[in-house]
A and B are shown apart, each in its own frame.
Chain A
Amino acid sequence: MTDDATPLERFLRGIIPENPVYRQLLGLCPTLAVTNNMKAAMTMSGAVLFVLLGANLVVSLIRGLLKPHLRILVFTLTIATFVTIADRFLAAFMYPMSKELGPYVPLIIVNCIIICRCEVCASRQSPAVAIADASGQSLGFALALASIATVREILGSGTWWGIRILPAGWDNWVIMVLPAGAFLTMGLLLGIANWLGTIRSETKGY
């Protein structure tokens, strides 16, 4: 990971090559908890996008003032502020969704993706780079969530984004909506991602 990457490179990097979920295995608890339907997953991604952008921007702006031993505390307090904003916003304008996501919105505070991006990127780079990095990472996170939610919602409820996909005679695989299905889907998709990764690197010749 070189530090002289341009903002565009950083943005693209977050989507696939350094995908926070599949490549770095970060931010697992929302990934598994809110992916039993697409709407919840996308709301979660939106909240993470907002918090990550805000936290990265603020941390990047105050990076000259950070003291090494206090920096994690500063990161978490910054993140907690933005999460409170996101949580109140959801509760005010999307009340049913806020109920459904429940404690997982406040849990964004301890989402490792955000602390990791603050530490690795925002505390060392200019605001523009930090914002590009944040958008790339959140887009990667959103894609990962979407992939898991797609599998779980289609198999578990026969719908996608609330629209019926599978014929009405489909027996819902209830296990896919339960916690166990989240673990299984995640494990298998991770396997597929690794497999595709190996194929790609083999055909490229390195």
Chain B
Amino acid sequence: MDLLVTLLLIAVGAALINNFVLHYFVGLCPFMGVSRRLDTATGMGFAVTFVISVASFLSWTLTYFVLRPGAPLTTWLLHREVDLSILNYIVYIFVIASSVQFVEMYVRRFFPNLHRSFGVYLPLITTNCAILFACLEIMKHVSGVEDPARVWGLPQALTLAFFAGIGFTIAIVIMAGIREQLDVADVPRALQGAGIAFVVAGILAMAFTGFTGVDRGLEKILKPAPSRHAASPSARIHSRGGEQ
């Protein structure tokens, strides 16, 4: 039950409160580039969700068993604690690049229709910062966490990744809907194209700011006991924006 609540909070945090695009600004390139039409935007959203889940699964596995200080595999092999976390970034980017490659091959072989509909976007996803960002978020909760009870397991990692993907999809679909309308609007010449897209994204981000604190409310409802554990990922919103 406690795990379920934690998962729910992670999910809400990743999809709405700390939306990857509108709060962390990651994945902006596809957000700006592929949001002209609704159907391609939806395709891109689902492609990202899929790849983000696969990449996070792999990177969680590698971080948990190999890379983090005192990981089982290195301890077993070398009989002492080894900290390989300096290799984190290189391993992640390698994992992302190869998983995109494998996902593309798999989808082309087994789901030719799906491949035709979003095949073009798959290779592009390699350089999508959202994927790497999800891996880094997971790393933060796995590698170098003092209290073993707070180290994220696979369920937490996968929930974060999947719902971050859903959040990306929500944002890009809303954006595409607005931009389709924007095509017929009378926009000042200098702002046409990317300029107005950014302004629209700003207004959208303002709307999403309204979700701040939803997770606190949920936590209060779902966890009436005074347990103060499971600091949700959105606690960061205050350290990034509020204090300055």
Interface residues of A (CB under 8 A from B): 25, 28-29, 32-33, 36-37, 72-73, 76-77, 80-81, 83-84, 87-88, 102-103, 106-107, 109-112, 115, 156-157, 175, 177-184, 186-188, 190-192, 194-195, 198
Contact = CB atoms under 8 A, between A and B. Distances in A.
10 contacts: A28-B28, A29-B25, A32-B25, A73-B94, A84-B89, A103-B133, A103-B136, A112-B29, A182-B205, A188-B195
A80 B197 contact: no
Provide the main secondary structure of the chain A interface: helix
B244 A77 contact: no
B194 A190 contact: yes
Most chain A Cβ neighbours within 10 Å, of B23, B137, B204, B241: B241
A28 B202 contact: no
Given A112-B29, A191-B188, A195-B190, A183 B93 contact: no
A199 B32 CA distance: 26
B127 interface: yes
Nearest to B23: A179
Contact of A80 (B89, B137, B244): B89
B86 A88 contact: yes
Interface string B78-107: 000000001111100110010000000000
A37 B75 CA distance: 43
Provide the main secondary structure of the chain B interface: helix
Contacts of A36: 241, 244
B97 A73 contact: yes
B32 A25 contact: yes
B194 A180 contact: no
Contact of B198 (A33, A177, A187): A187
A98 to B, nearest CB: 13
Contacts of B26: 29, 107
A80 B89 CA distance: 6
B90 A178 contact: no
A184 B32 CA distance: 14
B222 interface: no
B182 interface: no
Interface in B181-217: 188-191, 194-206, 209
Contacts of A181: 202
